[in-house]
Structure 1
Amino acid sequence: MKISKRVLYAFALLGLPLAVPVQSAAQAADSGTFVVYVEDRNVGTEAFLTSQVGSDFVATGRVRLRLPEGTLELDPVLTTRGVGTDPVSYQVDVGGSSPSRVVGTVGSGRFSAKIVTGSGEQLREYVASSGAVVLDQGVAHHYQFLAQRTHQGRVPVIVPRENRQVMATVTSRGEETVQIGGVSATAHHLVVQPAGGDEHHVWVDDLNRVIRVEVPARAWRAERTRMPR
C-alpha cells in the first residue's frame, strides 16, 4: 500500500493518526488551512483534509478559535459515500469552554445521534431527507459537499450540533475574481440561505473546493491561506 506524501503531510498537519484500510490507499482530494476572522480580527484557524478511500470520502478537520465568549475547538469527521457524496456518518468533538461530543449516522431517511456532554448522554433522531448534506456551524470545508450537489436550487441541510434539518436555497452569482494569499483567482460565488437562518456566501473553484466562506450577519469569515493546487 502506497500513501501519497500529500496525505501524510495533511494528517501530520491535523495532528491525527494515519489510519486507512489495508486493502485501499487513501488519496487526498483536498487539504489546506483557513484563517478565521470575526469583525476582521484573526481569531484562529481551520485545518482540514478530505481524502478518498474507494467510493468513500472522509473529511477531517481541526478548528481552533479564540472568541470573545470563550475558546472553541472542533474536531469534525464526516464520511460520505458514492457519486452523490451522500453523508453516512458524522462525529464532532467540541472542546474549549463547553465540551461535548456528537456521534451520528445517516440511514433510512433518519439522522440518529448520541450527544455526550458533562451532564450525561442524550439520543436524538430526526428526518434526513434524500439529497441532504451536512453543514456544521463554523466548519468551512463542509461546503464542498454542498457545492458538489448544486450551484442553484434547494438542498436539505443537516445541522448536527443543533439537532435538526433545514431547507436551504442555493443561488449562483456567477464567477468573481478573489484575492487569496496575495494571488488573484476566479471563483464561483454561491449564496446559501437556510430557512430562518443567516445568509452564507461561499466561493469555490472549478472543482468545488472551498476558497472562502462569509456570514455577513455575524461578521464571520473563513479564508484559505492559499489557493488549492
Structure 2
Amino acid sequence: MVDAGPFNLTADYFRIRLADRLALTQLFALTGPEVEGLLVEGVTSARNLQNFRFFTNHFETRTQGLDLVATWTPPRLGGRTTLGFLFNHTDTTVTRFDTAVLDALRVRELQEAIPGTRWNASVRHEVGRWRLLGRFSYYGEWFDSRDLYVYHGDSVFDLEAAYPVSDSTTLTVGGQNAFGNDPEANPIARAKGNRFSVQTPFGANGAFFYVRINYGWASGG
C-alpha cells in the first residue's frame, strides 16, 4: 500500500483453493436404449429429452490473481479532479475432477469463460455542485463453449453526472456503454442462432441510459 497524499496505491494478491466446488456438469445425451427404457418406465416425454446436465461438487479448483487500485488527485487542478485506475488479473485452474461428469470442454469453460484480465480508467470531476464521471473499461479475451470460440478483448465507455437538488436528494443521469459498442460477432451465428456470445462480460444490448434519484433520511439527534 502506498499513501502519498494525493496519490494512493493498493495491491492485493489472492489465492483461493476450493474443494467440493458446486457447478453444472457437462452436457449428457441419452442413448436410444436409455430413451426406450424411460418410455417403458412411463416417462412419456423421453423422446423430447435431447441433452441434460445436473449439479455436481466432485471437483476442486485453485484461483489466484492480483488486484491493483490507484487514485491520484492532482493538486494543480484544485483537488476537484480524481484520476483512477483499477486492474485485475485472475487465473482459475481445475486441479481435480471426475471425468465421468466433467469433460475437457466443460473444464476449459470453468477456467476460461470469464476474462482473465480486466481494467478500467476513470476521471471524476466536480464543477460547482455537479459531480461528473467518465470511465473506460477493458475486458480481456474469453472462451465460449457453445460457440467453441475464443472472443477477443473488448471495451466500453460509461458516463455519469450527478447533482444534489437538495440536502437529501441527488439526481443522477448516465449511460452504460454510452457509445453503444457491440461485442465481437459470433462467427457461427447462422448455425447457433445467437448473434453475440452469451458469455459477453458487458452484455449484448448496446447502450443503456438511466435516470436515478437518491434520497437519504438524516438521522435525528
Q: Same fold (TM over 0.5)?
A: no
Q: Which has the larger radius of gyration?
A: 2
